[in-house]
C-alpha cells in the first residue's frame, strides 16, 4: 500500500492528540510523520505507534514534502494553511478560518464526500455541532426535503479545549470541598451550571457558534432554502455534545419511517427504546465515532414535523475522526495537488 507523508499541526492539544489516536486506530498509511505545534510546545516528545517524535515549531518550511497536513485548529490555520497548500500539501483544517470560503469544500464524509474532489489545496472540517447535526439531517432531507430546523445544543467543555476540561475538574473538586471557585476559561462558573453562550455574540444577538450551525449546514447540504435557528449552550459535561433537533419537512415523515431512514444511514446508531429507557447519553457515546440518535418522534404541533435527540463525541466525530475520514477520501479519490 502506498504511504503518505502527514503533518499534524497542533499535535500537543486535545484535538491534535485525538488526531494521532485516530490515525493509529484507522491504520492510516503514513510514510513520514511530522508533529508541529507552537514555539512554546516545540521540543516536547510524543510517542506514536511505537516511535518517539519530537514536536517541531510550525513554520512554512516545515510543510516541504508533506502530502496531507491535518490542522487541529487555532491561529496556526490562518498563519500556515495556505503556506502548506502552496508547498503541495492538501490541508484538512479544523478551524473556522476557511469554512465559508466558496473555494474551500466543507465536508462531512457521510453527507457530501464528493465535495472533497473540489478542493484547491484546503478542505475545511465543519464545526463540531454542525457535523453531528448534519449526519442526522441528511437521510431525512434526502427523503422528504427539510424546510426548517430548530436546534438547541448541550455542548461539553472539551469543545473549548484542554484548559476547559481542567477548569471543570478543578471547580468540581473545590466545590465538593466547600471552597469558592473562580472562572478563567468560561465567563462564569461551569461546574453545576449551564452557560447559554458559546463564542462571541454577533448579528441579532446570536453567537458565532449559532451562526456556524446555520450557515455551515446550508453549505454542506447544498441547500440555501433551509431555514435554521440555533441556541448553543455549554454544559458541565467533559465529553460528547448533545442536541435537541426539531425538523419540519415538505412531506410527512412518520416516526417509524424516520427510524428506518436513520438506522440505515452511514455513521448512525439509532438508540430509541423509550419503554426500556434507552436513548443516547454523553456518558455512553464518548470515545465513539458514531452519531447516536434517539427520542425519535413526530412533532404533534405541526403537520410535518419530527423531534430527534442527537449525541456524539465532538472530539472524535465532531473533529478528529471527521478530519481523518476526509484524509481517507483524499487517498481514495487520489485528489492530491
List active site positions.
128, 241
CA 108, 263, 312, 217 dihedral sign is positive
Residue linked to cell 454577533:
202
Rg (CA), the chain: 20
Contact 307, 329 (CB under 8 A): no
Take residue 17 and report the three cell numbers written for it.
Answer: 492528540
Closest by Cα among 12, 77, 101, 79 to 48: 12
- All three cell numbers of 220: 454542506
Q: Is 123 helix (H, G, I), strand (E, B) or coil?
A: strand
Question: What distance in Å separates the CA atoms of residue 254 and residue 252, rounded to the nearest whole number?
Answer: 6
Cell of 36: 508541529
CA distances from 137 to 174, 207, 227, 257 (A): 41, 22, 13, 14
Residue 73: CB atoms within 10 A of its CB come to 21
Q: Are 11 and 76 in contact (CB under 8 A)?
A: no
The span from the CA of 36 to the CA of 13, in Å, is: 11
Distance between CA 30 and CA 250 in Å, rounded? 46
Amino acid at each position: 500500500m502506498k504511504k503518505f507523508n502527514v503533518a499534524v499541526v497542533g499535535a500537543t492539544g486535545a484535538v491534535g492528540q485525538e488526531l494521532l489516536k485516530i490515525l493509529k486506530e484507522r491504520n492510516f498509511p503514513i510514510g513520514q510523520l511530522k508533529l508541529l505545534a507552537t514555539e512554546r510546545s516545540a521540543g516536547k516528545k510524543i510517542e506514536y505507534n511505537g516511535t518517539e517524535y519530537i514536536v517541531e515549531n510550525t513554520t512554512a518550511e516545515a510543510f516541504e514534502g508533506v502530502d496531507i497536513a491535518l490542522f487541529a485548529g487555532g491561529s496556526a490555520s490562518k498563519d500556515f494553511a495556505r503556506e502548506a497548500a502552496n508547498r503541495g500539501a492538501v490541508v484538512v483544517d479544523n478551524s473556522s478560518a476557511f469554512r465559508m470560503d466558496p473555494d474551500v469544500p466543507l465536508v462531512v464524509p457521510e453527507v457530501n464526500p464528493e465535495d472533497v474532489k473540489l478542493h484547491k489545496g484546503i478542505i475545511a472540517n465543519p464545526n463540531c455541532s454542525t457535523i453531528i447535526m448534519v449526519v442526522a439531517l441528511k437521510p431525512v432531507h434526502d427523503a422528504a426535503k427539510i424546510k426548517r430546523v430548530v436546534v438547541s445544543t448541550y455542548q461539553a467543555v472539551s469543545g473549548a479545549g484542554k484548559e476547559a476540561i481542567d477548569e471543570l475538574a478543578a471547580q468540581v473538586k473545590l466545590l465538593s470541598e466547600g471552597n469558592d471557585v473562580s472562572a478563567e476559561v468560561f465567563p462564569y462558573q461551569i461546574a453545576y451550571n449551564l452557560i447559554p453562550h458559546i463564542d462571541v455574540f454577533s448579528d441579532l444577538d446570536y453567537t458565532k457558534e449559532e451562526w456556524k450551525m446555520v450557515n455551515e449546514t446550508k453549505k454542506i447540504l447544498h441547500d440555501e432554502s433551509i431555514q435554521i435557528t440555533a441556541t448553543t449552550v455549554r454544559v458541565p459535561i467533559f465529553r460528547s455534545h448533545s442536541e435537541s433537533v426539531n425538523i419540519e419537512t415538505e412531506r410527512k415523515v412518520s416516526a417509524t419511517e424516520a427510524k428506518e431512514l436513520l438506522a440505515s444511514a452511514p455513521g448512525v446508531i439509532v438508540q430509541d427504546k423509550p419503554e426500556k429507557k434507552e436513548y443516547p447519553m454523553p456518558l455512553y457515546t464518548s470515545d465513539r465515532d458514531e452519531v447516536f440518535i434517539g427520542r425519535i418522534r413526530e412533532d404533534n404541533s405541526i403537520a410535518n414535523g419530527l423531534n430527534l435527540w442527537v449525541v456524539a463525541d465532538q472530539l472524535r466525530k465532531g473533529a478528529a475522526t471527521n478530519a481523518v475520514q476526509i484524509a481517507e477520501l483524499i487517498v481514495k479519490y487520489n485528489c492530491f495537488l
